[in-house]
Amino acid sequence: MFENRPDRDVEVVLVGRSNVGKSTVMRELTGHDVTTGKKPGVTREPNYYDWASESFMFTDLPGFGFMSGVEEHRREEIKTDVVRYIEEYADHIIAGILVVDGKAVIDIIDRHRADGEIPHDVELFHFLEDVGASPIVAVNKMDKVDDRDERLDTLCDRLGLFPPWQQWQETIAPISAKQGRIEPLLDCLRSRFEAEKRADLLKFVT
**Would you say the pTM of this structure is higher than 0.75?**
yes
Q: Average of pLDDT values for 88-95? A: 96
In the prediction, which pLDDT does 121 show?
Answer: 93
Nearest 5 degrees, angle CA 94-CA 117-CA 120?
25
149-158 pLDDT tens trace: 999 999 999 9
Q: Can you spell out the DSSP letters for 35-72?
A: ---SSTT---S-EEEEETTTTEEEEEPPPBS--TT--H
Inform me whether the pLDDT recorded for 91 exceeds 60: yes
Inform me whether the pLDDT recorded for 31 exceeds 60: yes
Going by C-alpha positions, the residue among 139, 57, 42, 44 that lies closest to residue 98 is 139
CA distance 9 to 88: 13
Name residue 61's amino acid: L
The band of 37, judged by pLDDT with boundaries at 50, 70 and 90, is very low
Q: Average of pLDDT values for 45-69? A: 85
In the prediction, which pLDDT does 68 show?
Answer: 57
Worst-scoring range by mean pLDDT, 19-23, 126-130, 176-180? 19-23
Residues 78, 58: contact at Cβ < 8 Å? no
In the prediction, which pLDDT does 36 show?
Answer: 45
Percent of the chain with pLDDT over 90: 74
In the chain, the domains with their CATH numbers are 10-199 (3.40.50.300)
159-194 pLDDT tens trace: 999 999 999 999 999 999 999 999 999 999 999 999
Q: Average of pLDDT values for 37-44? A: 48
Cα–Cα distances in Å, from 192 out to 74, 95, 126, 129, 177?
A: 34, 7, 18, 14, 20
